[in-house]
Amino acid sequence: MMTRFVLIIVTALLGSCQDTSDLAPIAAGGELIMLTRNTPTTYYFEGDEEAGLDYALVRAFAEQHGMTLRVKVAFSLPELFAMLARGEGHLAAAGLTQSAQRDDTFQASLPYLQQQALVTYKSGKLRPRSLAQLIGRDLVVVAGSAHSELLTSLQAKLPQLSWREIHTVDSLELIQLVTEEKAELAVVNSLALSVGQRLFPRVVAGLEIGEPAPVVWYLPQSADDGVSLDLVNQFIQQARQNGDIAQLERQYFGRYEHASRVGSLTFQRKIAANLPPWQPLIQRVALEYQMDWQLLAAMAYQESHWNPNARSPTGVRGMMMLTRITAEELGVQDRTNAQQSLRGGARFFKDLLRRLPSDIEEPDRTSMALAAYNIGMGHLEDARIMTQQAGNDPHLWPDVRAQLPLLQHPEFFPMTKFGFAEGPQAVTYVDNIRHYEGMLKLQTLPEDRLAPPIEVDTLLPESLRAIAFPIL
């Protein structure tokens, strides 16, 4: 029975490893194969849904040209480029920094982002302030990365410079190594750090190395497979001009200036200590109101630190800190009842989302609804009108966000319908919630990431490993 089980596994694994390097030319209705990495900066799963900036961008490209998208995941950068060289995909999109070495072998698209190489360290430890201060320290870098190329070029001037290359899929594991003090320093890019700090807030940037570098897609040198560089570049140029890339950057790499590192560390501790008793209820209510549970949990934490008995000097109460009048309008009889409070807060938030103009898109829509939850829809509309009068876009949260603090200055009252408001407070409120939401979404990422394929030999007893099994 065991032998039959092993044979079934071996046959399945061998069959899954078979691939063709002959890609059919792409036409309308054809299949586009994307090579990528399973990382929070490129491609990952939120529940059952595929997500990630590179995934969203390539999906838009495929949809624009009537193609279906298939994703192939590599488990290291050398493997990714080997797959591309073998013709196993039409393009590689994985937050790839453009480099001269890569350009020698593949075609680079127009850049769609920029990122800066950073030497990171754990807060409280010795900060590196110059290249010379890297000598003699335990420095790690992703094997096969542009950062490895950069360090090699720096080594010409600093022969004593040394580092360890880690065969991993991305920088998140390096950041974890620094957090756990299994490495002293790590070279990561700025985009990866902006995400990684949500999970490991004690790792911070110490030193910039090199110049800001473009992020590109890579294609095989040959365009015989039907994806021309011109076609890709036209799409990227259009996506930059119409704001699609900027919107994706805000969604996946949003930087929240009011979200402090101390607040992040406190929140991380609260996740472990205070959230578990309330998480099932939060998830159930979020499901009822078709919300991400992480967003509802972040709102409840910002409002009350998940305390159903919380009370403010102004009289708002409960886990979602509802006013007496708002609670009555929402049918909440007991504001200190966690279930009633969560349902009332979720219902109120969903109503604010509904009341916003239909042409405000995500992620701006949610951010504006959060601001309205804090200061009211009337004050938000005042800020949107002021945004338009200033020549900016009232549909974009960054533009509206810049106007909100002006609501507390008397010289702007004549421009408003609803007068004074604590605009800076609303900005901080939204920044914190979006930051906490991102931290919650990343908590299970290390466990949920795709694992590399199992080596067939590891499934076989020692006595069978030398036997060549036929492919059936």
List the chain pLDDT tens, one digit each, 472 residues: 333 333 333 333 333 343 434 444 454 458 999 999 988 889 988 767 888 999 999 999 999 999 999 999 998 899 999 999 999 999 999 999 999 999 999 999 999 999 999 999 999 999 999 999 999 999 999 999 999 999 999 998 999 999 999 988 778 889 999 999 999 999 999 999 988 888 888 999 999 999 999 999 999 987 565 688 999 999 999 999 998 998 898 888 876 666 667 788 889 889 999 999 999 999 999 999 999 999 999 999 999 999 999 998 878 999 999 999 999 999 999 999 999 999 999 999 999 999 999 999 999 999 999 999 999 999 999 999 999 999 999 999 999 999 999 998 888 888 888 888 889 999 999 999 998 998 898 876 655 555 555 444 544 455 555 555 454 4
What is the Cα 138 distance to its own chain's centre?
Answer: 28
- Report d(CA 435, CA 422) in Å as an integer: 20
What is the Cα 216 distance to its own chain's centre?
Answer: 17
What is the reported pLDDT for 89?
94
- Report d(CA 176, CA 173) in Å as an integer: 5
Residue 469 lies in a domain: no
Residue 454 lies in a domain: no
Secondary structure of the chain in the HEC alphabet? CHHHHHHHHHHHHHHHHCCCCCCCCCCCCCEEEEEEECECCCEEEECCEEECHHHHHHHHHHHHCCCEEEEEEECCHHHHHHHHHCCCCCEEEEEEECCHHHHCCCEECCCCEEEEEEEEEECCCCCCCCHHHHCCCCEEEECCCHHHHHHHHHHCCCCCCCCEEECCCCCHHHHHHHHCCCCCEEEEEHHHHHHHHHHCCCEEEEEEEEEEEEEEEEECCCCCCCCCHHHHHHHHHHHHHCCHHHHHHHHHHCCCCCCCHHHHHHHHHHHHHCCCCCHHHHHHHHHHCCCCHHHHHHHHHHHHCCCCCCECCCCCECCCCECHHHHHHHCCCCCCCHHHHHHHHHHHHHHHHHHCCCCCCCCHHHHHHHHHHHHCHHHHHHHHHHHHHCCCCCCCHHHHHHHHHHHHCHHHHHHCCCCCCCHHHHHHHHHHHHHHHHHHHHCCHHHHCCCCCCCHHHHCCHHHCCCCCCCC
Residue 471 lies in a domain: no
Residue 472 lies in a domain: no
In this structure, are 221 and 200 located in the same domain? no
Six-digit token pair at 303? Answer: 């409002």
- Report d(CA 250, CA 246) in Å as an integer: 6
In this structure, are 298 and 149 located in the same domain? no
CATH for 420: 1.10.530.10
Other Cβ atoms less than 10 A from the Cβ of 446: the count is 12
* Phi, then psi, of 201 in degrees rounded to 5: -70, -10
In this structure, are 208 and 236 located in the same domain? no
In this structure, are 301 and 326 located in the same domain? yes
Residue 451 lies in a domain: no
The partner residues of 139 in beta bridges, in order of sequence, read 185
Residue 160 lies in a domain: yes
What is the reported pLDDT for 413?
80
In this structure, are 283 and 426 located in the same domain? yes
The partner residues of 46 in beta bridges, in order of sequence, read 49
If phi > 0 it is left, if psi is from -120 to 50 it is alpha, else beta; for residue 68 that is: beta
In this structure, are 277 and 396 located in the same domain? yes
153 to 139, 147, 156, 263, 327: CA distances (angstroms): 16, 10, 6, 38, 63
- Which amino acid does the sequence have at 145? S
pTM equals: 0.71
- Which amino acid does the sequence have at 317? R
Range of the domain at 155: 114-212
Residue 452 lies in a domain: no
Residue 467 lies in a domain: no
In this structure, are 405 and 312 located in the same domain? yes
In this structure, are 247 and 354 located in the same domain? no
In this structure, are 98 and 232 located in the same domain? yes
In this structure, are 236 and 384 located in the same domain? no
Give the chain's domain count: 3
Buried b / exposed e over 132-164, threshold 16 CB at 10 Å, is eebeebebbbbebbbbbbbbeeeeeeeeebebe
Six-digit token pair at 82? Answer: 């080997």
In this structure, are 32 and 180 located in the same domain? no
Active site residues: 303
In this structure, are 15 and 107 located in the same domain? yes
CATH for 157: 3.40.190.10
